[in-house]
Structure 1
Amino acid sequence: MDRWGDSGMTGSLLQTAWWGELKEEFGWSVTTATEGTRVFCRSLGPFRLGYIPFGFSRATGDPPGPGAIGQVVQSMREAAKDLPGRPHLLRWDVPWQVDHFDRSEAVAAGLRPAPVRVQPPDTVVVSLQDEEESLLSRMKSKTRYNIRLAQRRGVLVEAFTADDSRADRELMLWYELYQDTARRDRITIHPFCYYRRVLELSRRDGAPRLTLYQARHEGDLLGGIVVVSWQGTSTYLYGAGADIKRNLMASYLLQWEALRQARARGDRSYDLFGIPPSDDPAHPMHGLYRFKTGFGGELLHRPGCWDLPLHQHRAWCFRNAERVRGWYYQGLRKGLEGSLGRIRAAAGRPGA
């Protein structure tokens, strides 16, 4: 029987039994393969996909040794024999940094770059092994200023752990804000029952520790973030922000309080979990890059997803269908929505 926090030989939160049970309840089947790595399988129309989020890494975080990619591919092929439904393709979200991943070696071993991303390959990780003043000193001056501005103007942050009797109601309030955030930023989110289950599963003995941080000002809920602590790392998973009182900089104080409390619990690092790949002002999420890098962490860059086709024809069809879907949603559809928005603005009409 898997322990709730057990992740075999891998050091990722997304390889824990806790995450596996959550995904099983929402349409995935989960199989434990080589060295405790979990493979998440599901059918997508006529295709069968096996997904390995940050698998085949060491819990110690040590870099891979020589020939590691070939060994991973061999393990993937062996694992595929025992997976339900015999997937047409295995997709591996590589946990190693790009400096430790040889693309030519990966291609020679049979892997191909995936046409889509699943988990963010780029992130910011803040070390928590110094005093609070040292953490503040490593931040950008604008970030420190905004944290103190929120404090001066009376923004209050409260933490609700999974076993707090108020957590269920706070999660409902947070989700209402999250829906507004999703509409504003045009992102896709899960239904409320998904996040409620994340909270419920976090109440099990040995599960990763979940905390919901909520920021308020004079009774108004301005934002909230969900942070999960496991194996010495706190990870910022979800965040929501209100349209009102944005000048109070509640989002900065939320992250600072989460950092402080993670350090107080003894966590060694805080993963802000996802940024654009570079400081590019033309990137549509450049503001997110500036916000997260402002906290002074180390930038980590991973290679992203790589596919191992197991049924050549079906894998080819699936990968090309993903390319077309990505072109429609990321290119054509967003371009059309932007054009319509500009037309409405010019005509003085609100959006639909």
Structure 2
Amino acid sequence: MVQLDKPVKTVDIHSPKVNPVSESEFLSLLKNYSSLSDGYVPFLQTAAWASFKQRFGWKPLFYSVSGYPLLVLRRRILREQAIWYVPWGLFWFDAVVGHGPDYESYAIFIRNVSESILNQIQGSRIKPICIRYDAPFGLTNYSCDESGNKLYKETVKRIPGVWRVNHTIQVPTTVMVDLSQPWENILAGMKKKTRYNIRLAERKGVSVRVGN
């Protein structure tokens, strides 16, 4: 057992403090973060998801990064090689930094977090051939466009040791619609093609109702 670090208000992206922790310690880190934020933790970074993936051959690895939680999933593909996967990894980064997605800082941060982890497992028999991150960007209001994804891709090209792949494992964009707004306002914020598809569905008899 390690002494859990207290979450820091400003994370040093160049020298993150990374430590392996137990599952119970990981749960404590999640709880601490929830109490400091709005309580949102993506399901893919929970112990429940780790337990589920373990049933299908993935080994969960739990870390503390400057006092914040990080779940890494490991899957062996050869005798002594494995893929390490971080779904929605470092989801708390924006909240800690205190502003919207800073793509360059995030790319630098994941590189340095990854290097710290790799340095800790140098003596391990099973080595990762890569550490794959699905970035926690794309949870947006409906009015967003694709400029953020394009900017992230272009920014990552400038960071040595980090590559932006063309295909994501998780859904690349999650849309959140504020249903408290009048229907006309919601439609007005949508793209023309989306409005057309909605009205086409109405003409075809598709309806939405509140279930029991």
Which bracket does the TM-score occupy, shorter chain normalised? 0.5 to 0.7
Q: From 153, 167, 171, give the equivalent of 1:120.
A: 171
Q: From 154, 157, 165, give the equivalent of 1:104.
A: 157
For the 8 Å contact 1:14–1:54, the answer to whether it is kept is yes
C-alpha displacement of 1:37: 1.6
- Structure 2, unaligned runs of 5 or more: 1-23, 35-39, 138-147
Structure with higher Rg: it is: 1
Amino acid at match of 1:143: I
The residue that corresponds to 1:91 in the other structure is 132
For the 8 Å contact 2:88–2:136, the answer to whether it is kept is yes
* Alignment pair present for 1:64 and 2:102: yes
C-alpha displacement of 1:49: 0.8
Higher relative contact order (CA 8 A, sep 6+): 1
- RMSD of the alignment, in Å? 3.6
- Structure 1, unaligned runs of 5 or more: 151-248, 262-352
The residue that corresponds to 1:78 in the other structure is 116
Amino acid at match of 2:69: G
1:3-36 deviation digits (Å, cap 9, x = unpaired)? 7x86958853321222222112221111122221
The residue that corresponds to 1:30 in the other structure is 60
The residue that corresponds to 2:199 in the other structure is 144
Q: How many residues align?
A: 152
Q: Which has the higher helix share?
A: 1
C-alpha displacement of 1:43: 0.6
TM-score w.r.t. structure 2 length?
Answer: 0.55
Identity over the aligned pairs, expressed in percent? 18
| Equivalent runs, 1:1-352 vs 2, <5 Å | 1=24, 2=27, 11-33=41-63, 34=65, 35-46=68-79, 47-58=81-92, 60=95, 62-64=100-102, 67-80=105-118, 81=120, 85-96=126-137, 97-98=148-149, 99-100=151-152, 102-106=155-159, 108=160, 110-114=161-165, 117-121=168-172, 123=173, 125-131=175-181, 133-134=183-184, 135=186, 138=190, 140-147=195-202, 149-150=204-205, 249=206, 253=207, 256-257=208-209
C-alpha displacement of 1:76: 1.2
C-alpha displacement of 1:51: 0.4
TM-score w.r.t. structure 1 length?
Answer: 0.36
C-alpha displacement of 1:132: 5.5
